[in-house]
Structure formats: structure tokens, C-alpha cells
Amino acid sequence: MKRLRFGTAGWRRYLASLPRAGRPDRRVERVVASILDSVRREGDRALVRLTARFDRVRLTPRTLRVRPAELRALARRADRTLVRALRGMAERIEAFHRRQRDDGFALRLPDGSRLEEVVTPLDSVALYVPGGAGAYPSSVLMNAIPARVAGVARVQIVTPPRALEASPGLAAAMAIAGVTESVFRVGGAQAVAACAYGTRTVPAAAKIVGPGNAFVAEAKRQVRGTVEIDQDAGPSEVVILADHTADAGFVAADLLAQAEHGSGDETVVLVTPSDELADEVARLVRLGVRSVANQASARRALARFAAIVRVRGLDEGVAAVNALAPEHAQVMTRDARRVASRVIAGAVFVGPYAPVAAGDYGIGPNHVLPTGGTARHASPLSVRDFQRRGSRVEMTRLGLLRVTEGMVRVAMAEGFRGHAQSLLTRFEGEP
């Protein structure tokens, strides 16, 4: 882990070096553009051909869809203790997300006019579920449950053709989330294309969410506008703000937990005013890396983007965390709740018994969080991401008359005579 002091040139170089969402190389762009065009023109035929080419699985248009009975049979193959754990996780996620539901509001004016914000669910959402090393049942729940709580009429899932057989836990999570009717065996950029444009078998959706590789991410970028997408997801990040009261073993374990995600680009940072804590955490991380998953990539992440940032006090520590605006922040300090109230991050975990892992595995809030410093302006995935908000304006004659003079003045000042006339015409000929 690098040793840095906040505010120095070394600190600024470190900030500039961190992974940020950006466009992929030109080859990925060209390949994805070709795939999107093929699916747009050929529909199911392209999906079958591309699945044979990239996944080495031969399907037909009829076998693209996973029949509900087949999905339930695959779900029954999942370990029973895992299924129980996923059910408990789903209950906690749903309980939290139900508090996010919002029906809008109505503002009644004294003149009888009525102004409303109308909240309605999206009619359809597609969830991309990776296979292979990225097959995470927890992410199925985190994406599907808020959509269902929002009232989305159709939640469909696209996943690589071998994913469900290789990871029955995915099928179990889909069944627990109540998504069994619209599951399709197609992955990669072609799956994104199908959900954006629609084919005979795979319907078009209003929004596409869920993580994927560089080709999936680029496909989502290219179809934005045709369909809404979620935010770009970067490597996992954790920044821990800790003082001398923190347990070094807890801090080291939490840093290592994020380093093991597997990309090798994870950001793990300790911000502290304590030299003693910094030294002990560094020692424990060196020892502990031997026991984590994805050890080679964890070592790579620790060598590239791990840092211990020395600050003069907790005020400076908060400034350091906020400059990073990470996906996850943990606060293990004296008076942690007060300190945490000033921290900017996708999710903030307060105190020694609130590790990020508790958020990853469904204590309640969503674990789909902004990365790459975007927590400054972006928010976690929520029920609101699966709703649309619109305005409804109902005005009486008196209500319009009351505001017309001022509106006309502004319209004329902006050079829009037609706008002014649209207002005035309703009162022409009146005294």
C-alpha cells in the first residue's frame, strides 16, 4: 500500500491515477456497433448466430427463452442453506426499498387550479445478469426487487446461455425475486441489443440495468437514448476513515474484502491521523492477502490503487474521503455518527460493526452504487430508478388570468410572441 500525505503532490497524482469510467478502445466500439446492427436487422437469427459464435452454444429461437418450469427446476438444484440465506436477504432488501415508494403530490391553489407530480412505474425493465466469475445471486436481488417494488409490470432477465446451469443460485434468486416468466438465454452485447430494439422472442424494454463486461458496458452506452440505462459501473472502492480508537484487524479485513473482487483495479484506502494504526493495518494487510479470493488480482489492486493517507485530524480526514467520493466509505472513529454525517460516498458505514460486506449481502440498502468519484452527484440504485415522474397541470380561468400578465412579459422578453398569444387569446374580447 502506498503511503501518502493529504494535500501533497503525491496525493494529487494518486487521485489522478484512479480508475474512472471512460470509453473503451476503438476495437470494442466497432465490434459492439456491428453486433447492435446485426440484432436490429436480423432479430432472433442474429441472437442465435452470435450465441454460437461467442458462447459456443447452439440455440434456436424457441430455446432462447427459459421456460418457467425449467427455471424452477434449476432453482431447486441450489444449495438449500444458500436459498434460505437469499430469502432472508430478499426480505431485508424489500423492507428497506418499500420505504422508498413515493406517490407524488398534488398542490391545490386558492383559485381552484391543481398542480400535480405524478409518479408511475416504468412499463418494462431488463436486467442483465452476468455468468461465469461474475455470477452473483445477490445482484439479482438488488436489481430485481426495487423494480418489482416500484410496480414495473414486466421485469425480464438476459443472462449468458450456460449461466443458470453453472450457477443454480442465480435461478434461485430469480425465483425468490419473482422473475420467472421472462428469462432469456442470451448474453453479451447482443443481449443488450435485444432488450433495446426487441426481437420476435425478446421484447424491448424501457430501461436496462445490471453489470457486465466491457462489451456489455459499451453496448449500453451505444443504445442510450433508444432505451434508458443505469450508470456505468467501475471497479469496487472502499475508503476507511479511522482514528486511534479503531481496531486494526477490522480495518485490514475490510480493505482486503474489497481488494478481492477480482478486477485488479479496486481502490482500497485508509485515511487516518494515527501512525500506529497505519503501521499495524499495513502489516495485517500484507499477511491477510494470502487468505482472500482472487489472490493474484487482489495483490495487483493493492500494488496499484491501495493507499494509506495520513491526515492531521478528522476534519482533514473527511476532506480526503470527500475528495475521493468513493463507492463505499467506512467511519471507525470516536463520535463516528457525527463524523459520518459529513462524508460523501455512495454508501456510508458507521462504526466498527457496520462493514461494507453487510451492505453487499443485503442488510437492506442497495449495493448497486456510484463509483469512480461519481458519488458527488449520483445515487444508489433505488425504487426511484424504476419510476418516471411527470407533471399534470389543471388550471381554472381565474388561475390562468392571475398569472397571464407576468407570463406574457417574460415570453415577449424572450422573443416568443406565439407563446404570449397562446396565453392572451383566452381573454381576447374581454374588458
Number of C-beta neighbours around residue 164 at 10 A: 26
Do 256 and 173 have their domain in common?
no
Do 7 and 42 have their domain in common?
no
Dihedral of CA atoms 313, 318, 324, 329 in degrees, nearest 10, equals 110
pLDDT at 134: 75
Do 40 and 128 have their domain in common?
yes
Helix ranges, 26-179 (H)? 26-42, 44-55, 68-75, 80-98, 137-150, 163-166, 168-177
Q: For 125-171, write each residue's pLDDT tens digit.
A: 999 999 877 789 999 999 999 999 999 999 999 999 999 999 999 99
**DSSP string spanning 101-125?**
----EEEE-TTS-EEEEEEEE-SEE
Q: At 241, is the secondary structure helix, strand, or coil?
A: strand
Residues spanned by the domain of 422: 395-427
Do 244 and 209 have their domain in common?
no
Query: Which helix (DSSP H) or strand (DSSP E) does residue 4 occupy?
Result: strand 2-5
**Which residues have a Cβ under 8 Å from the Cβ of 211 and sit 6 or more positions away?**
128, 130, 134, 139, 233
pLDDT at 41: 97
Whole-number mean pLDDT of the chain? Answer: 95
In a domain, 347, yes or no: yes
In a domain, 244, yes or no: yes
In a domain, 108, yes or no: no
Q: For 383-404, write each residue's pLDDT tens digit.
A: 999 999 999 999 999 999 999 9
Cell of 111: 383559485
pLDDT at 177: 97
Question: What is the Cα–Cα distance from 422 to 407, expressed in whole angstroms?
Answer: 11
End-to-end CA distance of the chain: 80
Helix ranges, 327-427 (H)? 336-340, 356-360, 397-413, 417-424
Does the pLDDT value for residue 431 go beyond 70? no
Q: For 327-370, write each residue's pLDDT tens digit.
A: 999 999 999 999 999 999 999 999 999 999 999 999 999 999 99
In a domain, 110, yes or no: no
Strands (E), 122-257: 124-128, 154-159, 183-185, 207-209, 228-229, 237-242
pLDDT at 329: 98
As beta bridge partners, residue 4 has 309
Residues marked active site are found at: 327-328
Mean pLDDT of 109-135: 94
In a domain, 111, yes or no: no
DSSP secondary-structure letter at 327? S
CB 86 within 8 Å of CB 169: yes
As beta bridge partners, residue 124 has 154
Cell of 413: 422578453
How many domains does the chain contain in total? 3
Kindly report whether the global pTM for this prediction surpasses the value 0.75.
yes
Q: What is the CATH number of the domain that holds 174?
A: 3.40.50.1980
Do 240 and 225 have their domain in common?
no
